[in-house]
Amino acid sequence: MEAKPVSQSQVIMTEMVLPTHTNSLETIFGGTIMSWIDIAAAISAQRHAQRPVVTASIDDLHFIAPVKSGWVVNLKASVNHTAKSSMEVGVRVDAENPITGEYFHTASAYLTFVALDENGKPTVVPKVLPETDEQKARFDKAKLRRQLRLERREFFRKK
């Protein structure tokens, strides 16, 4: 199976924050952002694997700044690293005030997806090929995050 460049899994997704997405402070519900993150990441993972994928975990989701009603949310996702059947996808969320043109980094997250075969069982995915220095740095950091994720999973299985 041939490795695939990160560029083949990149996703840029844009959403508008509507009143139905907001709380009593007229800022977006965290759950709405989480849903959009999961969708962007799933598209990225599916592009890479060219298979159906399922979310295995979401870790290190950090909300940095609020997003207000009427603003635009831009999500960027790409596969950072792969294992046998799993993929780490990084997602960056930026908000845009369309009136002032200002951009704000509002959230970042790392998600793990597993590719599935025709029987709904985990299946092998292509390796990811980082091309730029930034992608190589994300690839290296993803290896460490994977190790920590596996250690954390094992720790909680013992309890």
Task: Find out whether 138 and 75 touch, Cβ atoms under 8 Å.
Answer: no
pTM attached to this predicted model: 0.93
Question: pLDDT tens-digit profile of 67-112?
Answer: 999 999 999 999 999 999 999 999 999 999 999 999 999 999 999 9
Domains of the chain, by residue range, sit at: 4-157
CATH (one of 1.10.150.130, 3.10.129.10, 3.30.360.10, 3.40.50.150) for 4-157 = 3.10.129.10
Distance between CA atoms of 22 and 56, rounded to whole angstroms? 27
Question: pLDDT tens-digit profile of 16-64?
Answer: 999 999 999 999 999 999 999 999 999 999 999 999 999 999 987 889 9
Buried/exposed code over 51-80 (b: 16+ C-beta within 10 A; e: otherwise): bbbeebebeebeeeebbebebebbbbbbbb
- Phi (first) and psi of residue 54, to 5 degrees: -130, 150
pLDDT number for residue 159:
64
